[in-house]
Amino acid sequence: MDSAPRARKPYTVYRGEDGAAAEAAPPPRGPRPPASGGAPPPRRGRRRRRGRLLLVIVLVALVALAAVAVATLRPFGDGTSATASTAPPQPAAAATGGPAPTPTWKLKSYYSRGWDRSFKCDLAQEMPEVPRVVVFGGSRGLRMDPATIKRDTGLTAFNFAFHNGRPEDAWAVTDWLIDSHPDKPPAVIWCMQATTLADAPMAPGLIVDERLSQAFPQALIDAKMDWALRQPKSNILSGRRYGFDGMLWWNSYDRNREEGLTLQQSLTKYLDADMLAKAGNGKIPYHTRAMAYFTRTLGLLNAHHIKPLIVIMPYHPRALSAFMSVGWGVKQRWLRSYLSKLQDHYDFKLLNCLQISSFGGSPEGFYDGAHLTAENSRRLIRYCIRMAPSCFRVPSP
């Protein structure tokens, strides 16, 4: 499926603070892939006039001096939370000498049809260093802390988990990152659950943000574009705050906790009749688009000498017990069996962290039956790094 050539268009981001009209965004940093057929682009003829040569030498010297100045004035910061020990990067002042632009993560609003997909791509482009570790997954991976990854591995990290994140998201982001920086493919922590490989509608951001849509066949994008452009622009920063490296800092879970909602009350609300019916319906994926893009992403990472880490995410003990009592085990056994068979064809590490005892998690470190607090997520990250060190070895540029 999806065998048509990928679309390659100028990069456009449909976004704008306060609902402004769509605006063009610069191409992602780094070299673009070679021309079709693998041949390098044609080289321009060289002029040998001495004056031109001297001009080039002077310009190169000026660029080198500017790079040194920027490196001096903009040290890389790794802080992503109130507990982080370093500060996030500060943008350089405009060339005209005016005030520095507001970093995307500090904006008060961010209206976009691309929603968190476009938002996080913008954050990643503003990183002063290319991320060498990325986190994929859905909302359960949003609190996975890049600062902890950096602290324990020495590798710059970024959280590319999304609300309702799917394998299609991981494929598009991986393709974009490797296209932008082919010499710096990222290590991957992929947060999964039994329903990750079931099909769901593609997020509008994968259609309207051409940094991501370029990873898909043009026919697929054309078929969905009218629908995507009819979706309203939403403000991802309404009731949410993120760090500069993509980690979710605060949302409605935190607000509810501050207003007095207890964990036990959240669990009771989470484990309603609809949730238990879904847990026990026995449905398992079969030849889905999500499965196709999951394996495609594994293959792309392996081709760039990356061994991804797949993590089956934990549930609160009360929620896990309730799920198992209605037949959730069918889905879990299928997922483990499916991933085990894939290891015959792809190189990846699998960690089953379904139970919090596997990584030393705390039953108090949940917002509901499935969503970890930042501290529990950090415990999970440290366990992942300890148990799968080979997954954090990245090729040198």
pLDDT at 100: 83
Rounded CA separation 228/221 (Å): 9
Band of pLDDT at residue 48, cut at 50, 70 and 90:
very low
Report pTM: 0.78
N- to C-terminal Cα separation, the chain: 33
- The pLDDT, as a whole number, for residue 61 is 54
Lowest mean pLDDT among 6-20, 110-124, 157-171: 6-20
Q: Does the pLDDT of residue 50 top 80, yes or no?
A: no
Residue 179 pLDDT greater than 80, yes or no: yes
Q: Which helix (H) or strand (E) holds 254?
A: helix 252-258
According to the model, what pLDDT value does residue 397 have? 86
pLDDT at position 96, please? Answer: 56
Structure tokens at 180: 């932008």
Half-sphere exposure of 270 (CA within 13 A, CB side): 22
Return d(Cα 144, Cα 140) in angstroms, integer: 9
What's at 87, amino acid-wise? Answer: A
Per-residue pLDDT at 16: 31
Q: Domain 12-25+102-392: what homologous superfamily?
A: SGNH hydrolase (3.40.50.1110)
- Residue 90 has a pLDDT of 54
Q: Which residue has the higher pLDDT, 72 or 374?
A: 374
Q: Are strands 349-352 and 309-312 parallel, antiparallel or unpaired?
A: parallel
| Rounded CA separation 347/345 (Å) | 7
Contacts of residue 34, defined as CB under 8 A and 6 or more positions apart, other chains included, come to 40, 41
Q: Can you tell me which residue has the tokens 């009749």? A: 273
Provide, rounded to the nearest whole percent, the portion of the chain with pLDDT above 90.
74
Give domain limits for the chain: 12-25+102-392
pLDDT value for 139: 97
**Interatomic CA distance for residues 300 and 21, integer angstroms:** 35
Q: What is the pLDDT of residues 245-274, one digit of tens each?
A: 999 999 999 999 999 999 999 999 999 999
The DSSP line for 58-83 is HHHHHHHHHHHHHHHHS------STT
**Residue of 15, 49, 45, 226 whose CA lies nearest to 121:** 15
Residues 6+ apart with CB under 8 A from 371: 139, 140, 143, 253
- For position 89, what pLDDT does the model report? 56
Summarize the confidence of residues 52-76 as an average pLDDT: 44
Question: CA-to-CA distance for 246 and 145, rounded, in angstroms?
Answer: 9
Question: Over the stretch 30-47, which tens digit does the pLDDT of each residue have?
Answer: 333 333 333 332 222 333
CB atoms closer than 10 angstroms to residue 135 = 30
123, 105 contact by CB (below 8 A): yes
Helices marked H in 109-242: 115-126, 146-153, 167-180, 204-208, 210-213, 218-230
247's tokens: 């980690």
CA distance 354 to 337: 15
Residue 80 pLDDT more than 50?
no
Q: Which residue spans within the chain are E strands per DSSP? A: 12-13, 15-16, 23-24, 111-112, 133-136, 157-159, 187-192, 234-235, 241-242, 248-250, 309-312, 349-352
**How far is Cα 262 from Cα 41, in angstroms, rounded to an integer?**
61
- Distance between CA 265 and CA 268 in Å, rounded? 5
pLDDT band at 5 (very low <50, low <70, confident <90, very high): very low
**pLDDT at residue 88 in the model:** 57
Residue 84 scores a pLDDT above 50: no
| pLDDT over 70 at 157, yes or no | yes
